[in-house]
A and B are shown apart, each in its own frame.
Chain A
Amino acid sequence: MFGTKKRRIAILIMMVFMFGIIAGCGREAPTNQQPAPTAGAINVGLNVELSGGVASYGTNARDGAMLAIEQVNAAGGVLGQQLNPIVRDCKSLPDEAMSVSAALVDENIVAQIGPLTSGNVAGSTPIMMENKIPLIAPAATATNVTVDDKTGATRDYIFRVCFIDPFQGTLMAQFAADNLKVKTAVIYGDTSSDYAKGLADYFKQTFTEKGGKILGTEGFVKDDRDFRATLTKIKGLGPEFIYVPGYYQEVAPLIAQAREQGITVPIGGPDGWDSPDMVTVAKAEALNNTYFTNHYSSQDTDPKVVAFVEAFKTKYNKEPDGFAALGYDSVQIMVQGLNDAQAADPVKLAGALAQIKNFEGITGNMTIDTNHNPVKAGVIIEFKDGKQTMNSRIQP
């Protein structure tokens, strides 16, 4: 009996403790909900992938965005206020992206830059829509990022500064047929990614329309490392061009193995190839005669691009890639939006962003269309002895 009584007391105490903990949480929360806005600063959230599968994209975009923020602040800020970046890692996971967005909303941000991949942007989308805060996606290329594919309605608060997936497939097909003048091609793409699947479809469509012939379609999946069997088969088909939509982790060893097997024809791909790892893994020689579509080239002689590349190199001691440029443009287009709106207000900013015309970005002149996609040109990058060189600019 005595033991039971003690137990009851203990349980009661535990309940009191629990009550205390929960009540404590409750008191803490409201302060987070309405923090006093820092005087003279506009909070900008950076929700980017700094760890996990696509950490390389997030890190570079973060660097580009931070450079832009630094430059804007050095030039006197926006609307007389300084930009205050709040950087958070979403671990390349959509649920974490959602949690990070909610944390950023609590920080009273005016806009969120990122995440980079379409899936992670989707995770963040409901929070941004619910709180009516614009999300500017630097590199989310899936069509349904800015448009709800069930209703067909444009998402009011979701924007992007990159072109959409289909465009890159079309672009590479145009380049292969018009510039390289090839007649036959094989598609050897990542079948585990929707990004690659979409690119393959549009490449096929445009290439066929241009009078080319697709000799075969092969596939690999994420984390594949040995491509020799399929490459032997492709070699037997004897195409003049191989289109490899995929990410650099698989593409780099794939190209190395293709060259090993004596496949010398040009190989093309999308911006998923854009990583310094391409050269370190595949080696310079194997990469000769390979091309990929991208948002920008650091070799571009446009004075704006030259100035950006110079500033980026000085600050980070590395070459800015496409993600860095897109991160930079995301911040700059937001600044343009803030200036147009003449207020550091998320809702007004979204309205202004939707109206942006001829914004001069590093990655090209952009006009935001009704689906919140930028209308802009793309570039073809060629690997020459391990160096990324700009081959041409392709207008859609």
Chain B
Amino acid sequence: MQTKKIKWTRILLEAAFLVVLFSLVQYSISTHMLSQYYQINLTSMCINIILAVSLSLINGFTGQLSLGHAGFMAVGAYTAVIMTTKLDYPFLAALVGALFAAGLAGFVIGVPTLRLKGDYLAIATLALGEIIRVVLQNIDYVNGPAGISGIPKLTTWAWLFGGVVLTLLVVVNLVNSSYGRAIISVREDEIAAELMGINTTKYKVLAFVIGAGFAGLAGALYGHYFYIIKPETFNFLKSFDILVMVVLGGLGSTTGAVIAAIFITILTAALQPFPEIRMIIYALILIVVMIYRPQGLMGNKEFSRQTLGRIWGGRQ
């Protein structure tokens, strides 16, 4: 009984925290306290968080080096945009559609490729991500390389916030479940995991499908905010950007992925006034972080109430 009661307080506190955070930002947006510029960067930040957390499930927790995340983002973006602009579905349906379409793409790509290991998997996912992009480039229905422009701006702070919370809820709870233990065991030692009776392919595909699905959700949110989607936006460089966030945050840390996504978005925006040396500074900062924190900002640790408790009350 005791533990159950504590858990309820925790959940309530967390919910209250989320509600306060949401309302504060919503209030600043509706009263124009946050200018358009800050709103755009807030949007990028939320989308990057979803992308980084979903890729961290595949790369960080399952240990499968996937370089095709932008491809799944593209599947989600195109699915959602087609659903809203051409087929007149409501936005929620489009978001769900994007989630499932990208998840399906993840399944179709995951089943054959996840039997590969390490470098081979990286190359296969990189190639498949590029295939998605090239296929989109050659479909006239979506205007080929010019992409679809004039997309209505349906992504609001509420959808973004909901997307981030949903992604975190699913990923964190998955990782902490028995499925999560199996997934992590695949990363730690695939042969040992298999000997323990874990169907490694099944868990790899599971993580891959969920990760891909949320990348699709991020793509859908992206498309409905930035007015234009074109295949070129979802090239392998985009996949690398996401990978940089995951590695910077620490492989195997959801908190790390979130912090790195926020950090990189702010860094990119903060360097805008220095156009000439922007990319040099960006690269230097990444190199310095990697030299002094090769395990990433958070390593494989999570920031949690326990961590806070330890900080507050000394060693427990």
Contact surface of A with B, Cβ cutoff 8 Å? 3-4, 6-11, 13-15, 18-19, 22-23, 25-27, 29-30, 32-33, 48, 50-51, 53, 87-89, 93-96, 98-100, 102-103, 105-106, 118-119, 122-123, 125-127, 130-131, 142, 144, 148-150, 191-195, 197, 221-222
> Which residue on A lies nearest to B282, using beta carbons?
A51
Q: Which residues of A contact B233 (CB under 8 A)?
A: 93-95
- Contact A33-B227, Cβ < 8 Å, known A51-B278, A119-B147: no
**Distance of B195 from chain A, by nearest CB (Å):** 38
B311 within 8 Å of A (CB atoms): yes
Stretch of B17-25, B56-64, B164-172 on the interface side: B17-25
Q: For B276, list chain A residues within 8 Å (CB).
A: 50, 89
Which residues of B in the span 238-296 have a Cβ within 8 Å of any Cβ on A?
268-269, 272-273, 275-276, 278-279
**B interface residues with partner A (beta carbon < 8 Å):** 6, 9, 13, 17, 20-21, 24-25, 28, 32-41, 44, 134, 137-138, 143-147, 149-150, 153, 222, 226-228, 230-233, 268-269, 272-273, 275-276, 278-279, 305, 308-309, 311-313, 316
Residue among B36, B137, B269, B305 making CB contact with A7, cutoff 8 Å: B305
A358 to chain B, nearest CB (A): 32
Contact B272 A192 (CB under 8 A): no
CB-based nearest A residue for B146: A194
**B143 to A194, Cβ gap below 8 A?**
yes
Q: Is the CB of A11 within 8 A of B305?
A: yes
Inter-chain contact B278/A18, CB cutoff 8 Å? no
Nearest A residue to B227, CB-CB:
A126
Say yes or no: A123 contacts B150, CB within 8 Å.
no
Q: Which 3 A-B pairs have the closest CB atoms?
A: A194-B146, A89-B275, A102-B37
CA distance A27 to B38 in the complex (A): 12
Q: Which residue of the partner chain, among B21, B32, B146, B313, contacts A6 with CB atoms under 8 Å?
A: B313
Q: How far is the CB of A57 from chain B (nearest CB, A)?
A: 14
Chain A contact residues: helix, strand, loop or mixed: helix
**Also in contact, A102 and B35, with CB within 8 A (given A26-B28, A194-B144):** yes
CB-nearest residue of chain A to B222: A95
Q: Which of B9, B150, B230, B275 has the most CB of A within 10 A?
A: B275
Q: Are A26 and B33 in contact (CB under 8 A)?
A: yes
What is the interface of chain B mostly: helix, strand, loop, or mixed?
helix
A10-B311, A29-B28, A122-B227 known; A106-B272 Cβ under 8 A: no
Complex Cα gap A53–B232 (Å): 10
Query: Of B20, B35, B150, which one neighbours A19 at CB under 8 angstroms?
Result: B20
Task: Closest A residue to B5 by CB, please name it.
Answer: A4
Enumerate chain B residues within 8 angstroms of A8, measured Cβ to Cβ.
Answer: 9, 13
**Complex Cα distance A378/B310, Å?**
71
Bound CA–CA A127/B17 (angstroms): 32
Identify the closest chain B residue to A89 (Cβ).
Answer: B275
- Distance A125 CA – B33 CA, assembled complex (angstroms): 23
A residues in contact with B228, CB < 8 Å: 94, 119, 122-123
Q: Are A94 and B273 in contact (CB under 8 A)?
A: no
Bound-state Cα–Cα, A100 to B134, Å? 28
Closest to A93 in B: B233
Q: A22-B28, A51-B278, A119-B146 are in contact. List 15 more A-B contacts (CB 8 A).
A: A4-B6, A6-B309, A8-B9, A11-B13, A11-B305, A30-B35, A50-B278, A88-B273, A94-B227, A94-B233, A99-B37, A106-B35, A131-B36, A192-B134, A221-B137
Alpha-carbon distance A345/B306, docked complex (angstroms): 56
- Bound form: Cα–Cα A14–B150 in Å: 41
Q: Is A25 a contact partner of B134 (Cβ separation < 8 A)?
A: no
Q: How far is the CA of A142 from the CA of B147 in the complex (A)?
A: 12
Query: Which residue of chain A lies nearest to B149 when distances are taken between CB atoms in the complex?
Result: A122
Given A103-B37, A126-B153: A33 in contact with B32 (beta carbons within 8 A): yes
In the assembled complex, the Cα of A149 lies from the Cα of B146 at a distance in Å of 13
* Bound Cα distance A389, B143 (Å): 36
Give the nearest-CB partner of A219 in chain B: B138
Q: Is the CB of A100 within 8 A of B20?
A: no
Chain B residues within 8 Å of A105, by CB: 36-37
From A221, which residue of chain B is reached at the shortest CB distance?
B134
Point out which of B21, B37, B276, B279 has the most chain A C-beta atoms below 10 A from its C-beta.
B37
Q: Which residues from B are CB-within-8-Å of A148?
A: 150
Please determine whether B33 and A193 come into contact, CB atoms closer than 8 angstroms.
no
